[in-house]
Amino acid sequence: MATAGLYRRLLPCPPAVEFASSQGKKLFLESIQNGTMEGFYKLVSYFQTQSEPAFCGLASLSMVLNALAIDPGRKWKGSWRWFDESMLDCCEPLETVKARGITFGKLVCLAHCAGAKVEAFHASHSSIDDFRKYVIKCSMSDDCYVISSYHRAALKQTGIGHFSPIGGYHVRRDMALILDVARFKYPPHWIPLKLLWEGMNYVDEDTGQSRGFMLVSRPHREPGLLYTLSCKHESWINIAKFLMDDVPLLLKSEDAKDIHQVISIIVASLPSNFEEFIKWISEIRRREDGGPSLSAEEKARLAIKEEVLKQVQETGLFKHVASFLASSCSRQASGDGDTLPFIAASVCCQGAEILGGKPSSSGYCCRETCMKCWKAEDDKPITMVSGTVVNGNTEQGVDVLIPSSSGKLCCICSKSKYIRVHPASTDVLTVLLLSLPSTTWAGITDEQLLTEIHGLVSIENLPTLLQEEVLHLRHQLHLLKRCQEGKVDEDLGAPLS
């Protein structure tokens, strides 16, 4: 019997002009001469076909992330780190995307989670002139790309909502080059910008919002350089809700009189597993890949991490947090679980999982760790923990580069044998408090205490590196909260105060 199926679709021309047609080639050459195809070359180098009928958003984003050379920080297959649709799952389960596709707002969330800088606009909140301006800007460079979310009906194509990146622009004809990721259906094609804009003004029935476009680019530095929020941790929804909703209510209901009490109110109510929600990011490498020397890239990253850590420990808030934990020693994070050997063993296991491309349930355990210190060529001391990680009958050597501060710190708990110069719970809790929105503290009734709190947590009072770190975490927290509330599509441009 014959098998029913579809083999491509005939591209409606007009309004489209097929890229490979003689007219399409002419538009391409004229755009090259006009300088509005500069972004095309890298983008087409990573052009891919969506692997599922509803994966157009994931395919578009992974294509753009690879073109921007953003390191995913984890492996795809074999030994290769590479963005693939299957890795874009931190804001929506892949099975849900496979069945229903993904909304514009959640794709924006994914881009942020993947480490990109994103500016996103619903068509109803923008204009065709602004859209054209951004398309021209990205077409004339190779450091930003536009992903468009549009309804195919406006282009006289079959289907409904769709995502694809824009590969270039023809000035005289006012046409955009759509690198359609559904290559099994339509080839790349030029389309009048006006029609594409009309397609973006269709309302998405799932969100009640118009479709739109996003500008995706590399951040000027890697996001979350020392700290990050885990949007893949199973309890992130409850923890994000606690931090954004419950903490302000707790502070409003309790009559705190000093900073110690404010910290106590928050810490006493923190979910027991909150330390899984915010983590510090370590540098890992296979032992055979390294040695007692660092590459220029490793040195640069480690130096910035150490400066961020130093800036955290120099804040007034850190001193209050350290004092509180020293007086209470009530949380496990302030005990031996916070010592460098304990953390290093854990990180070595995580490193082996990442380097091996295995899930966290794969049974890695750290057989032994040892701490090494040596001086780099510039006489700067370097701290590295080496661990031997075992998984079944195989073992692997993993090195972890540890950022440290030059300041002398006292132990948080007297029972601990180790001086904590690495990122520990004191630093993490300090950064978490700094990352809470400014409205968190509004319920404090004592005016003098409120003034003191604002002086401690004000973004404006922080050094630049720490300011960027805190703003990144605050941005993550807001995005997670919006995802939890299902408001990410309607609040794309909401301020991160």
Helix, strand, coil shares of the chain as percentages rounded to 5? 45, 20, 40
In this structure, which amino acid lies at residue 97?
V
Measure the CA angle with vertex 472, ends 463 and 130; round to 5°: 110
List 162, 170, 320, 422, catalytic entry: 162
Distance CA 314, CA 411 (A): 16
Cα atoms found within 13 Å of the Cα of residue 313, Cβ hemisphere only: 21
- Nearest alpha carbon to residue 387 among 404, 366, 418, 401: 366
List 109, 180, 189, 483, catalytic entry: 180
Q: Is 56 annotated as catalytic?
A: yes
Tell me whether strands 144-151 and 203-204 are parallel, antiparallel or unpaired.
Answer: unpaired
Q: Is 204 annotated as catalytic?
A: no
DSSP 8-state secondary structure symbol assigned to residue 440:
G
List 56, 138, 231, 366, catalytic entry: 56
Structure-derived torsion over alpha carbons of residues 130, 133, 138, 141, reported in degrees to the nearest 10: -150
How crowded is residue 330: how many other Cβ atoms within 10 Å of its Cβ?
14
Distance CA 465, CA 468 (A): 5
List of residues 6+ apart from 145 with CB closer than 8 A: 39, 43, 64, 67, 68, 138, 165, 166, 215, 216, 217
The answer to whether 347 touches 282, Cβ cutoff 8 Å, is yes
CA 428: distance to chain centroid?
Answer: 18
How crowded is residue 3: how many other Cβ atoms within 10 Å of its Cβ?
4
Residue 80 phi, psi dihedral angles, 5° rounding: -95, 130
How crowded is residue 379: how many other Cβ atoms within 10 Å of its Cβ?
6
Find where tokens 């080839």 sit. Answer: 187
The answer to whether 122 touches 212, Cβ cutoff 8 Å, is yes
Active-site positions?
A: 56, 162, 180
